[in-house]
Amino acid sequence: SGDPKSAPVREAFGKLAGWVGIVSNLALFAVKLATGLFTGSISIMADAINNLSDSASSIITLAGFKLSAMPADEEHPYGHARYEYISAMVVSCIILGIGTQFLLSSVQRIITPEPVLFSPVVAILLALSIGVKLWQSRFYKTIGKTIDSGALMATATDSRNDVLSTTAVLVSAVAAHFT
């Protein structure tokens, strides 16, 4: 309980969101990387790397909340709240960079296609991943609104976009299997 605008409450919520993001995204990374290596699917491996970058983004968000909670000092008489904005900008740049890399690897795969193994297990793992990312998006959005955090709202949007990209990977894998 407490004022969601107060530095200690914001920091506590930020830490919670950061640690949840680190743990859940590392788990998704491990599952998707193993699945991608097993199937030979670059789209699943790219999705795994995206989850790894999401873990890095969570670390940046965690650091941003920690730094922004520092009290005002002589050099920063209004406090350090802008660190949260900087962390949101860094997360946005990471998202842009990963998206560019996905585009390049997808074009390369179109130019030089390779067969991809598919099984119901792959579909189940991807569907579970979609469920986790939906949950993450709602989790981050709820906390982001509660403490009025641009960084967490950006992370919620990224998780929602991951739902779309993993859904595209799942649809593509099913379509490739049946065509």
| 149: nearest Cα among 25, 12, 1, 51 | 12
Sequence-distant (≥ 6) Cβ neighbours of residue 122 within 8 angstroms: 35, 39, 41, 44, 173
pLDDT of residue 144: 93
Q: Which two tokens stand for residue 87?
A: 């962390």
Tell the residue number behind the tokens 């873990």, with chain if given. Answer: 55
Sequence-distant (≥ 6) Cβ neighbours of residue 167 within 8 angstroms: 130
Q: How far apart are CA 137 and CA 154, in angstroms?
A: 10
Is residue 9 over pLDDT 90? no
Task: Report pLDDT digits (tens) over 98-154.
Answer: 778 777 877 877 787 766 677 888 889 889 999 999 999 999 999 999 998 888 888
Task: Report pLDDT digits (tens) over 28-66.
Answer: 999 999 988 888 877 788 888 889 888 988 888 888 777
pLDDT of residue 173: 78
